[in-house]
């Protein structure tokens, strides 16, 4: 029996740490949280200071039993992560293993290296109950919100929806940005650029104003025909570019997206692996501070490899003054390790972290900036400006590039006359704010003080999984651009076509997101208020600092929140359906609506309260409730459309269902994606129907009188009687199985369950 039991969160971390400790230590993993609020029921006593009821998760009972055996007679060291979540895991371990939290040793470290682990062992503490309470407060408050708010959405909008304090605010941000873009009206203006000849070299310059109309631009270019252009000033001054701070969780997510194209969740998974294998410090942090050891190591590397003039030691101020997560930025544990990671993706992320950290301790890059001002005679009030920049000392850019290319300007002197080659006036359009990407949403949440480093990735994953948001590439739209060109002595007009609005990996809200957001803003405005959500985070910080009792914080929140739940009971389904009156059906004279239904946007003729039941139809492809026209909607009520007859005389109809367009013959449904049910031809429909029949015919290898079947399944052939399934191994020819053999296989097979149940395990840190 080992003298010491060290309990960490993940198996990977356990293996790494065990290498650093001697034979007197056994390192085991708790596999994340071992206790939590039960999934079913509220399990929070609102009448008793919101006391929670925890239970050991079913999939962790075996883990707890093993840890109990190992803990018996051993000194226990709780080595979960150093943030609030990790502190809560340590406390739950004391409760499950019957340990005294005031005596059990608690160690923390922000990097998994031998010196860090040995130092932690030398300086144990006990569980910090303030940090535990802060995590409990977050868990309980979010359970109260989710447990009371989600059922309201089930009743008023659609079954199966979820809501959450950070989740719903994130969706609101995306919805509001989409509406801003939708309501934005682009305004055109004309940008004027010129090319001058300077002893055979080109000097490009831009006018210091834009013109609102093509007539103004035309007039200006006409005035340039006989103008003489002269250098009126040459301004030269030194410039600097400064390195960025070392990575926090959010800045790493943003930069990994910008430079590597990684999604937020992907970045965190890769960083987790790098941390667990001892390559980087803890990856959930909002601190930009580097330890003295790290600063000294960076200096040694920089001076040894680049020279003293490249070194500039500095600490960066953490934006969030109440940061309560890990207390150091994300950095390499060894600056001499130029590469690390088990695969290419990990290696690229490690390199990014290595470069950013090292650059933060390097000197500024120095530049020479030049601005040439060009005036005209006869004089007009506007100047042409030519700007150039030359890098004179690369500084931090030596390791963390991405800086601007040098812009070299030809040598000119004050008063020098320039030869005009071309002046071009190009139409440009104002643009709405950009849609959020995962990275820019993280940046916005951080700016607003909503959530914490550990919440960003799971929040963004949740809103996509819940179908509030889709991540899409935008193809953009064609737009005609007008141009005016002055060459020699005439101004000519021409046009060209460009694609505008194209973009990649943008978060687009679904109509469901808009319906839910409008409902929540109306009835739960305070919960979705950005300042309020940030204040809740500040409240958690006060609990973590021991300045506020968590039951009081939760009580203050709940006494204002619960009345909103009661008030929302008065909302009607019709209100949440966002019905938009399109007009009157010419046949029935009943109103026609575009509205939100159980499975999304839909069309409806008539009222639910009428004696005659309403008639429903799907939305036309590419339309939304706010954009569909009366004429488009009227066409959809012609569905189902009779396409024709099959070869054996059965009627074939085309329609749109919950899962897209289809044709149906009898009870056989055939998907026709991406064809349109309004235009699909009989030939096309017959071909798809024939393919479906052939596929179905090949589904059953054999059918016996007893009802037993041998089926071609998606994962291989199997035997079934409808109640039990028996897999057929690869060595057995399914065509040769007799009914008697099939019965024997079914008798030996385990009973068919109701489907596998997967328990979503919290990501290991």
Q: What is the pLDDT at residue 528?
A: 87
Written as six digits, the tokens of 735 are 């065509």
Omega into 674 within 30° of 0, i.e. cis?
yes
**Rounded to an integer, what distance in angstroms lies between the CA atom of residue 332 and that of residue 358?**
9
Beta strands in 402-529 (DSSP E): 417-429, 469-474, 477-487, 490-500, 503-509
Contacts 24+ apart (CB under 8 A), 332-340: 332/279, 332/280, 332/357, 333/111, 333/112, 333/113, 333/116, 333/278, 333/279, 333/280, 333/281, 334/113, 334/279, 334/297, 335/297, 335/298, 335/300, 335/301, 336/301, 337/279, 340/274, 340/277, 340/279, 340/280
Written as six digits, the tokens of 499 are 């694609």
Q: Kindly give the residue spans of alpha helices, DSSP state H, lying in 157-234.
A: 165-183, 214-224
Three-state DSSP at 684 gives: helix
**Rounded to an integer, what distance in angstroms lies between the CA atom of residue 665 and that of residue 640?**
12
Judge contact between 421 and 202, C-beta under 8 A: yes
Q: What is the pLDDT at residue 491?
A: 94
Cα-only R_g, the chain: 34
Judge contact between 712 and 700, C-beta under 8 A: yes
Omega into 719 within 30° of 0, i.e. cis?
no
Judge contact between 468 and 484, C-beta under 8 A: no
Q: What is the pLDDT at residue 319?
A: 66
Q: What is the mean pLDDT of each run of 10 residues along the chain (765 residues)?
A: 85 86 89 89 93 91 92 91 90 94 91 90 94 94 90 84 88 94 92 94 95 95 94 93 93 94 94 93 90 93 96 83 64 94 95 97 95 89 92 93 80 93 95 92 91 86 91 86 94 90 89 89 89 88 93 93 90 74 90 81 83 86 82 88 91 86 91 88 92 83 89 87 88 90 88 46 37
Judge contact between 29 and 9, C-beta under 8 A: yes
Reference 453, options 272, 587, 593, 299; nearest CA is 272
**Rounded to an integer, what distance in angstroms lies between the CA atom of residue 513 and that of residue 171?**
7
**Rounded to an integer, what distance in angstroms lies between the CA atom of residue 111 and that of residue 120?**
11
Give, in order, the Cα–Cα distances in Å from 558 to each of 152, 214, 518, 530, 679. Answer: 16, 59, 22, 18, 55
Which residues have C-beta within 8 Å of that of residue 292, sequence separation ≥ 6?
A: none
Three-state DSSP at 723 gives: coil
Active site members: 282
Give, in order, the Cα–Cα distances in Å from 205 to each of 91, 311, 383, 643. Answer: 66, 37, 9, 63
Question: Which residues in 653-678 are b (16+ Cβ under 10 Å) and which e?
Answer: bbbbeeeebbbbbeeeebebeebebe
**Rounded to an integer, what distance in angstroms lies between the CA atom of residue 341 and that of residue 365?**
30
Give, in order, the Cα–Cα distances in Å from 553 to each of 180, 454, 540. Answer: 35, 21, 8
Phi-psi region of 650 (alpha: psi -120 to 50; beta: other; left: phi over 0): beta
**Rounded to an integer, what distance in angstroms lies between the CA atom of residue 649 and that of residue 29?**
67
Domains present along the chain, CATH in parentheses: 4-127 (3.40.50.140), 148-184+435-568 (1.10.460.10), 197-240+367-429 (2.70.20.10), 249-363 (1.10.290.10), 577-636 (no CATH), 641-697 (no CATH), 700-748 (no CATH)
CA dihedral of 29, 333, 323, 259, whole degrees rounded to 10: -110
**Rounded to an integer, what distance in angstroms lies between the CA atom of residue 171 and that of residue 179?**
12
Three-state DSSP at 232 gives: strand
Residue 413, φ and ψ in degrees, nearest 5: -125, 160
């Amino acid at each position: 029996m080992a003298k010491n039991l060290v309990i960490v969160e993940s198996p990977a971390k356990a293996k790494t740490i065990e290498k650093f400790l001697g034979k007197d230590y056994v390192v085991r993993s708790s596999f994340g949280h071992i206790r939590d609020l039960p999934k079913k029921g509220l399990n929070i006593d609102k009448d008793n200071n919101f006391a929670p009821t925890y239970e050991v998760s079913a999939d962790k009972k075996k883990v707890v039993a093993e840890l109990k055996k190992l803990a018996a007679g051993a000194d226990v060291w709780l080595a979960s992560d150093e943030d609030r979540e990790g502190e809560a895991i340590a406390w739950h371990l004391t409760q499950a293993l019957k340990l005294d939290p005031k005596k059990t040793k608690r160690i923390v470290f922000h990097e998994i290296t031998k010196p860090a682990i040995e130092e932690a062992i030398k300086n144990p503490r006990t569980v910090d109950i303030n940090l535990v309470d802060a995590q409990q407060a977050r868990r309980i408050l979010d359970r109260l919100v989710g447990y009371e708010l989600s059922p309201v959405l089930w009743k008023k909008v659609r079954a199966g929806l979820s809501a959450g304090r950070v989740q719903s605010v994130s969706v609101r941000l995306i919805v509001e940005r989409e509406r801003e873009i939708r309501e934005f009206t682009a305004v055109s203006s004309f940008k004027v650029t010129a090319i001058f000849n300077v002893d055979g070299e080109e000097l490009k310059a831009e006018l210091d104003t834009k013109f609102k109309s093509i007539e103004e631009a035309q007039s200006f270019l006409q005035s340039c025909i006989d103008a003489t252009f002269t250098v009126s000033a040459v301004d030269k001054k030194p410039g600097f570019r400064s390195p960025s701070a070392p990575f926090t969780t959010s800045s790493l997510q943003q930069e990994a997206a910008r430079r590597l194209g990684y999604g937020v969740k992907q970045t965190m998974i890769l960083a987790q692996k790098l941390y667990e294998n001892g390559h980087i410090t803890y990856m959930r942090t909002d601190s930009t501070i580097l330890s003295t050891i790290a600063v000294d190591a960076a200096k040694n590397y920089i001076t040894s490899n680049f020279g003293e003039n490249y070194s500039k030691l500095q600490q960066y101020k953490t934006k969030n003054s109440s940061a309560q997560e890990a207390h150091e930025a994300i950095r390499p544990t060894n600056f001499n390790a130029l590469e690390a990671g088990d695969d290419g993706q990990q290696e690229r992320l490690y390199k990014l972290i290595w470069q950013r950290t090292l650059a933060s301790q390097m000197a500024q890059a120095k530049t020479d900036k030049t601005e040439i001002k060009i005036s005209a005679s006869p004089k007009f009030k506007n100047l042409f400006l030519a700007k150039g920049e030359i890098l004179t000392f690369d500084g931090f850019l030596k390791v963390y590039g991405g800086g601007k290319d040098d812009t070299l300007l030809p040598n000119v002197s004050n008063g020098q006359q320039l030869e005009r080659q071309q002046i071009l006036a190009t139409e440009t359009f104002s643009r709405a704010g950009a849609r959020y990407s995962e990275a820019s949403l993280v940046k916005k949440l951080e700016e607003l003080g909503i959530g914490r480093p550990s919440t960003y990735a799971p929040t963004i994953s949740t809103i996509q999984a819940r179908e509030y948001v889709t991540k899409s590439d935008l193809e953009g739209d064609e737009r005609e651009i007008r141009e005016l060109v002055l060459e020699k002595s005439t101004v000519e007009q021409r046009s060209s076509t460009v694609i505008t609005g194209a973009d990649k990996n943008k978060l687009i809200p679904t109509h469901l997101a808009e319906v839910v957001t409008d409902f929540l803003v109306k009835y739960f405005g305070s919960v979705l208020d950005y300042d309020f959500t940030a204040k809740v985070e500040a409240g958690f910080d006060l609990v973590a600092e021991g300045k506020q009792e968590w039951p009081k914080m939760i009580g203050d929140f709940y006494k204002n929140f619960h009345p909103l739940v009661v008030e929302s009971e008065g909302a009607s389904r019709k209100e949440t359906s966002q019905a938009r009156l399109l007009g009157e059906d010419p046949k029935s004279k009943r109103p026609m609506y575009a509205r939100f239904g159980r499975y999304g946007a839909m069309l409806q003729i008539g009222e639910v309260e009428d004696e005659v039941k309403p008639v429903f139809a799907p939305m036309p492809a590419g339309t939304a409730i706010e954009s569909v026209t009366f004429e488009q909607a009227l066409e959809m009520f012609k569905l189902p459309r009779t396409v024709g007859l099959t070869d054996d005389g059965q009627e074939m109809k085309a329609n749109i269902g919950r899962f897209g367009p289809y044709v149906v013959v009898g009870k056989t449904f055939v998907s026709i994606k991406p064809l349109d049910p309004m235009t699909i031809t009989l030939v096309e429909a017959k071909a798809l129907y024939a393919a479906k029949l052939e596929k179905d015919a090949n589904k059953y290898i054999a059918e016996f009188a007893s009802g037993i079947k041998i089926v071609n399944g998606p994962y291989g052939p199997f035997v079934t009687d409808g109640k039990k399934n028996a897999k057929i191994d690869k060595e057995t020819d399914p065509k040769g199985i007799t009914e008697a053999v099939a019965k024997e296989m079914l008798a030996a097979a385990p009973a068919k369950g109701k489907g596998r149940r997967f328990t979503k395990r919290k990501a290991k840190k």
